[in-house]
A = this chain, B = another copy of it.
Amino acid sequence: MKAGFVSDVAAGTRISEVVAAIGGRIASRALAPGDRLPSIRRFAASMGVSPSTVVEAYDRLAAEGLIRAQRGSGFYVSNAGLHPLKLAEAETPKARAVDPFWVSRQSLDADAAVLKPGCGWLPADWMPDEALRRAIRSLARSDGDLLSYYGSTRGSQALRRLLLGRLAEEGIEAGPDHLMLTSSGTQALDLICRFLLRPGDTVLIDDPCYFNFQALLKAHQVTVVGVPYTPSGPDVATFETVLNAVRPRLYITNSAIHNPTGATLSPQVAHRLLNAAAGGETILVEDDIFADFEPEPSTRLAALDGLDRVIRIGSFSKTLSASARCGYIAARPDWIEGLVDLQIATNFGGPSPMSSEIIAHMLAGGGYRKHMEELRRKLVRVRRETADRLSRLGIEPWLSPRGGFYLWCRLPEGVDSGEVAQAAVAEGVVLAPGNVFSVSQNATGFMRFNVAHMLEPRVYDVLAAVLRR
């Protein structure tokens, strides 16, 4: 996993930097439609990169339609009028390249007959269905104001109170000023990016990391740099080097049960990350969405740091219901103030007060702890069974996670996980191939499996058939 990462990351980063530099000039209209781009040789010299890096970058910009090549006379800014923001690699969903959007769309829009070991959620019958229905019935009897109004700008007080209690248990001293609710965990991260990033900034992510981080950062038109992820967290030496070299504005990570690897941040690595970031401008965003799947709590950046340069986000989609749609941000009070304004401007408020009420109802009782204990017990068994069955196909976990529902696995030598995913989807099985998680695109031989969706024998039959090709 690690060999070659750093040099590949560096090359990919240089190309991304050129793309971002030109893209930024087009976005800010410093380069207007019809303008000629700098010559490859001249631009390479001015950026201190090789001409081939610039060629690669111009090709990417041309593929995105931002510039066009004119035979014999160089590259020009396109003048096709409006340039809507293009995020996915291909236009039609069916012909889509296997990029982060491919996995999202295939998983979200697949009909019920499709098997989805590539998806990021538990099957409905693993979720606390009875508790959820009880919470909804209780909602039907609640206050009329709650059912009619937008709700307060920071979201349900009941749910915020419960969350503050949970933060305190983790050793994070936070008051009401440190917390706000959002429409989802993803929206929480999106608000933070809008608040702290400007086009052209650099953001550090784990390589591999949750694929939608990359999709989201693409929407923010920032340069993304990956740090190789090890079984105890990001590679600290690379983290320190990159921090000094590119001064990223944000580092986004999962500390507990990292997506997709299932790894856990060690106390030593956590401590060194915070020290490396101290004094600089880098803010650390800790997405704690899988926290409650841990058998016992591990080290958290937010707990070590105390919400100074760490922002904590989370949601309830993995443990209670993804249908309710509710997330949260815990951060410095002055940032929460600004983020609340931003949420008013862009969503006129936070999550549905009805959704927050349902989540608060489910978290408040003792049933939640029991539900999670049961889930964790079940997942220990299913992770082991899945690993055994995959092993028979020559597919081996990179590590044995302490919790959660993902196994990050190495496919047999020479197998391309993107091709496996394309072939499997034709057989009604949605998989999550390695490269959608990897900014350096060097996880071709990896695949993330959601063990809760690996109980159907047909998944293994399709995998075996596809691997045989």
Contact = CB atoms under 8 A, between A and B. Distances in A.
Interface of A: 24-25, 27-30, 81-82, 84-88, 91-93, 101, 104-105, 108-109, 112, 121-122, 124-125, 127, 129, 132-133, 136-137, 139-141, 144-153, 183-187, 190, 194-196, 198-200, 212, 215-216, 218-219, 249, 281, 283, 317, 321-325, 334-335, 337-338, 340-342, 344-349, 351-355, 358
A84 B335 contact: yes
A348 B216 CA distance: 9
A178 to B, nearest CB: 16
A352 B352 contact: yes
A236 to B, nearest CB: 23
Do most interface residues of chain A lie in helix, strand or loop, or is the interface mixed? helix
A183 B347 contact: yes
A346 B149 contact: no
A216 B346 contact: yes
A341 to B, nearest CB: 5
A325 to B, nearest CB: 4
* Number of this chain's copies in the complex: 2
Cβ-closest 9 pairs across A and B: A124-B148, A325-B352, A215-B345, A136-B140, A186-B348, A150-B322, A190-B346, A323-B353, A127-B148
Nearest to A126: B148
A345 B27 contact: no
Given A84-B195, A125-B144, A150-B121, A212 B325 contact: no
Nearest to A212: B348
Contacts of A355: 325, 352, 354-355
Contacts of A199: 27-28, 199
Given A139-B136, A148-B132, A151-B108, A341 B28 contact: no
A187 B323 CA distance: 18
A372 to B, nearest CB: 15
A203 to B, nearest CB: 13
B91 A187 contact: no
A28 B109 CA distance: 37
A105 to B, nearest CB: 6
Contacts of A344: 101, 104-105, 108, 212, 215
Contacts of A92: 337
Given A28-B198, A29-B200, 11 more contacts: A25-B28, A84-B195, A108-B349, A136-B140, A151-B323, A215-B341, A321-B354, A323-B352, A325-B349, A325-B352, A352-B354
A124 B109 contact: no
25 contacts: A25-B28, A28-B30, A28-B199, A86-B338, A87-B345, A92-B337, A93-B337, A101-B341, A101-B344, A105-B344, A124-B147, A125-B144, A129-B144, A136-B139, A140-B140, A150-B317, A183-B325, A190-B346, A219-B342, A219-B345, A219-B346, A321-B354, A323-B354, A352-B354, A354-B354
Contacts of A212: 344-345, 348
A218 B121 contact: no
Contacts of A346: 186-187, 190, 216, 219
Question: Which residue, of A108, A137, A200, A355, has the highest number of chain B Cβ atoms within 10 A?
Answer: A108
Given A28-B198, A136-B140, A354-B358, A184 B347 contact: yes
Contact of A121 (B25, B137, B149, B337): B149
A84 B196 contact: yes
Given A187-B346, A338-B87, A324 B354 contact: yes
Contacts of A140: 133, 136-137, 140
Nearest to A81: B281
A123 to B, nearest CB: 8
A246 to B, nearest CB: 13
Nearest to A281: B81
A322 B104 contact: no
